[in-house]
Every structure is written in C-alpha cells, then in structure tokens.
Amino acid sequence: MSVIQVHDKQFTPYINADKLQARIQELAAAISNDLKGEKPLFIAILNGSFMFAADMFKYLTIEAEISFIKLASYKGMKSTGNVVQAIGLDEDLFGRTVVILEDIVDTGKTLSQFLPQLEHQQPKKLLVTSLLTKPEAMKFPIKIDYLGFSVPNKFLLGYGLDYDGLGRNLPEIYQLVENA
C-alpha cells in the first residue's frame, strides 16, 4: 500500500478512483431517472465539491444547470454562533428543482444552516447529494437524498478534499493514518 505524506501527516489509500467513478455513475443514473423533465439546478458547494461536481455532471443524461457557490462563515448573534452566507448564488430558486452537491457531510452543521436559507426561496424540491458522510460525526441530522459512501469518523483527503489546502488534486480518497 502506498502511503503518502501531506504536510506533517500520513495518509493511506481508502477509496480508489474506479470505485469512486462507478459509484458516481450510479448516483448520476438515479438522479437522471428521478428528475427527468425537471431541468434541475445543481448547486455545488466549493471548494471541496469541485471534482465530484464535474464528474457527476458529465454522467447526467438529462438537461440540467449547475452553479458553483462558496459558503462564508461569519459571526452571527451570540445565540446563533457562526452563520453561513452563500457567495455567488445568483439564480432564483422559486419553483425549481434544486440539487445540492457536497463533498462530505460531517457534523451536518454547514447544511443545517444553509438549507433553510434555500427553503426560504421556495424551490419546488430541495435535494441533497453528498459523495461522503460520517454518520458517527453527525450532530445536526441532514437527510441525504443521494449518498455515495458512508465512512468511519476518520479524516479523509483527496478527490477535492484537502488537508490545510493540499491534497485536493488526488484522484482517489485517502484516509489519515492515526498516530503515525
């Protein structure tokens, strides 16, 4: 097994590129089947989802739009803690079928804050697609409509996911080697 080093940590291969692509094709097929004729708007959340979004979008066989946004976190009122704000969301979601594309739902905090903001615009449907989720880490339960893989609560790297800025370019997913 080829262990790699990024910054001060070591990572070992976890989900190879073929397995990733096969699963993403399955998700794209399910979405294409379920949302035929709806001209959905995909909203990919940067930075982490750029690779997943690009591959997913290529495998779709229906008419669809895609928009890329960034979520900025800012300090809200004391009672709410950090609040996320979407940067770059120009589309009107009213009456649209909207599909969020996330790389990973970890605690669920990000989406638990962001989804209500989208609901506010009254889309026809609001669906969540995530390549990965860590059920043991989930603190804010999120319904994931299309899920790639459920993974243990260990830090992952590659295929868009970074460790302190690096590793996003890896074509497969690596897992942190603990106590290395």
Give the residues lining the site for ligand IMP (CB under 6 A).
48, 102-110, 155-156, 161
Q: Which is nearer to ligand IMP, 108 or 123 (CB)?
A: 108
The answer to whether 153 and 134 are in contact (CB under 8 A) is yes
Task: Give the shortest CB-28-to-ligand IMP separation in angstroms.
Answer: 20
The span from the CA of 10 to the CA of 30, in Å, is 35
Q: Which is nearer to ligand IMP, 55 or 102 (CB)?
A: 102
Quick one: 35 or 130, whose CB is closer to ligand IMP? 130
95 strand-pairing partners = none
Q: Is 106 annotated as catalytic?
A: yes
Single out the residue of 126, 124, 144, 122 nearest to residue 135, CA to CA: 144
CB of 124 to ligand IMP, least distance (A): 25
Min. distance of Cβ 95 from ligand IMP in angstroms?
27
Kindly state the helix (H) or strand (E) to which residue 176 belongs, with its residue range.
strand 173-176
Alpha-carbon distance of 171 to 67, in angstroms, equals 23
Q: Looking at 18, 106, 145, 162, which residue is catalytic?
A: 106
Annotated catalytic residues are: 106
